[in-house]
Amino acid sequence: MIVQTTQKSKEQLREELLRPDVVTGSEALLRSLLLEGVDCVFGYPGGAVLYIYDAMHGNKDFNHLLTRHEQGAIHAADGYARSTGKVGVCLATSGPGATNLVTGIATAYMDSVPLVVITGNVATSLIGTDAFQEADITGITMPITKHSYLVRDVKELPRIVKEAFHIASTGRKGPVLIDIPKDVSNTKAEFHYPEKVEIRGYNPTVQPNKLQVDRMLEAIAEAEKPVILAGGGVVYADASKELLEFVEKTRIAVTTTLLGLGGFPSAHELWMGMPGMHGTYTANHAIQNCDLLISIGARFDDRVTGRVNGFAPKAKKIVHIDVDPAEIGKIVETAIPVVGDVKAVLQLANLKAKPAKSEAWIKWVQESGRNFPFSYKDSDTELKPQYVIEMIHETTGGEAIVSTDVGQHQMWAAQYYKFNHPRSWITSGGLGTMGFGFPSAIGAQVAHPDRLVVSINGDGGMQMCSQELAICAINNIPVKIVVINNQVLGMVRQWQELIYDNRYSHIDLAGSPDFVKLAEAYGVKGLRASNKEDARRVWQEALDTPGPVLVEFVVRKHENVYPMVQQGAALDEMLMGDSE
């Protein structure tokens, strides 16, 4: 786990690190990372990064966590970044080590997560010769990085690291790659770390155009059925307090996207839940009937909009607030574009914000929420996955950091776990990456050693990165690991049932391992439940146990996630399931 240094020792360390010594590229890299405040690097060594790992030997100031797969390393760095707002850092060798990071880079890129991804490469004299374990990782990842560097001169390495952290964490956040040839990591040069960053052509817009903000406020004053669509940008901009103030001043009902969950208090009277394919009846129908839609840090993903030409058909105006101007107008026609950091936009708007004419609309929203909550048909003989999520929420009071993998369990967690705080929800949204959930929880737990971290996984995704159980056991990382086991690829099965006329093709996971024995093989406590009574008992035992615990909940195989908007349908064309 991370060792926290005192303020005095941090100042002393900084003075030592800034000394203009002659050092190798590897030592310059470690110094630069420490000067950027990096308190843990997640990585896996190999030939092209051995000089870097050699520089770590005996360096008590530098924290590194050895994962069991490079994909585990980058997902852990991702979970660290999402849960803290800081830049996550991972390290891998050249060739297969670097290419094993590609899925994690794409995951972070799609969800705007700030990462600095460091890879080794073959010596500069061998680049382009198809040398052993050579891969053009900058070329491979060009479409899924915000920027990338191939370091050819060791003197440039400190500047490059400084720039990489700046680019990753400003504007629309995202992953930046630094590829370091092996000879560069061993070449010596005098160390100089720049005080500031100046990158010609890179100057993200932070402060919004005041006239556009005024236009938005005028539209609000005239609106009778306004809706706010709040996305992950609210969380990433640390703008939750500003959003709450804006909502209470304007009296506008709020729906939060999958990545926006936690960005607005779930207990608030104006929160309608999540919209989209598996969103609430109220949120979807509110969007379809609103006269003003204000998107704040959301990019109109297809899982949110449904059929685009049937999205928000009654909205007279759509406002889009986003730090990335490329997103505005890309999917949905926007009447009032507001480019800028979400926090800065809302701070400016809150100076003059006034209520909309929305009280009658709010009454409809609240009545709809009471009449059409998420619901499922409970059972006394089978354990339902929704019951498990409700139990986890009840026992943690909404205070845990929750990570998920991808699939039905992800949607049930989004529906039935209610979040009190931002950065408490870690999930792969845009890419939908199976194998993400468990290692991302490890990163979150490393960042927050004193908080409860719950990793909710399906039996499919859990097997994609289950090897990271080893580092939980070795380092006593106390993640509570939940496996919702329905012995099938659940979301694929649901689609094959509803869309492909029950033609079930290659989805049976009945040959999966005994997850309790798997956990125990790694030295992690394993528990199992298949009914309500056992579920409550073993979950409480897990919470009471120091250190990591895996709990397998054996649930009904044929349970579906409802509501559901099928692809090609409009948001209000919802399959309601048991409540229909």
Please say if 86 is a catalytic residue.
no
Instruction: Please confirm, yes or no, whether 216 is among the known catalytic residues.
Output: no
Catalytic residue selected from 216, 411, 491, 574: 491
Given 27, 36, 42, 70, the catalytic residue: 70
Q: Which residue has the tokens 């009654």?
A: 314
DSSP character at residue 133: T
Q: What is the dihedral of CA 168, 331, 306, 371, to 10 degrees?
A: 80
Does residue 351 sit in helix, strand or coil?
Answer: coil
Pairing of strands 64-66, 147-150: unpaired
Instruction: Give 89: exposed, middle or buried? Use CB within 10 Å, 0-12, 13-18, 19+.
Output: buried
Name residue 272's amino acid: M
Q: Are 392 and 455 in contact (CB under 8 A)?
A: no
How far, in Å, CA of 274 to CA of 296, rounded?
A: 14
* DSSP E strand boundaries for 453-495: 453-458, 480-485
Closest CA to 244 of 268, 278, 216: 268
Catalytic residue (choose from 146, 182, 317, 384): 182
Annotated catalytic residue 173: no
**Residue reference for tokens 């891998």:** 92
Cα gap 229→320, rounded to integer Å: 9
Residue carrying the six token digits 């859990």: 462
- Peptide bond before residue 337 is cis, with ω within 30 degrees of 0: no
Helix residue ranges, H only, 36-129: 50-56, 70-84, 96-99, 102-110
Nearest 5 degrees, angle CA 137-CA 180-CA 127? 60
Q: How many CA atoms lie within 13 A of 261 on its CB side?
A: 26
Q: Residues near 120 by Cβ (< 8 Å), separated by ≥ 6?
A: 46, 47, 48, 49, 52, 92, 93, 94, 97, 98, 179, 180, 181, 182, 185
Whether 132 sits among the annotated catalytic residues: the reply is yes
Angle in degrees, 0-180, between the axes of helices 240-250 and 342-350, rounded to the nearest 10: 30
**Bridge partners, residue 318, by sequence:** 293
What is the Cα–Cα distance from 409 to 90, expressed in whole angstroms?
28
Distance between CA atoms of 567 and 304, rounded to whole angstroms?
Answer: 11
- 220 in helix, strand or coil? helix
What distance separates the 2 farthest-apart alpha carbons in the chain? Answer: 72
381, exposed or middle or buried, with CB in 10 Å at 0-12, 13-18, 19+? Answer: exposed
* Cβ atoms 262, 403 nearer than 8 A: no
Q: Would residue 133 show up in a list of annotated catalytic residues for this protein?
A: yes
Catalytic residue chosen out of the listed positions 10, 132, 241, 399:
132
CB neighbour burial string for 402-414, b if at least 16 within 10 angstroms, e if fewer: bbbbbbbbbbbbb
Q: Which pair of tokens denotes residue 555? A: 């649930």
First to last CA, the chain: 49
What's the burial of 203, exposed, middle or buried (CB within 10 Å: 0-12/13-18/19+)?
A: exposed
Q: Which of 1, 62, 133, 394 is catalytic?
A: 133
Catalytic positions, please?
70, 132-133, 182, 491
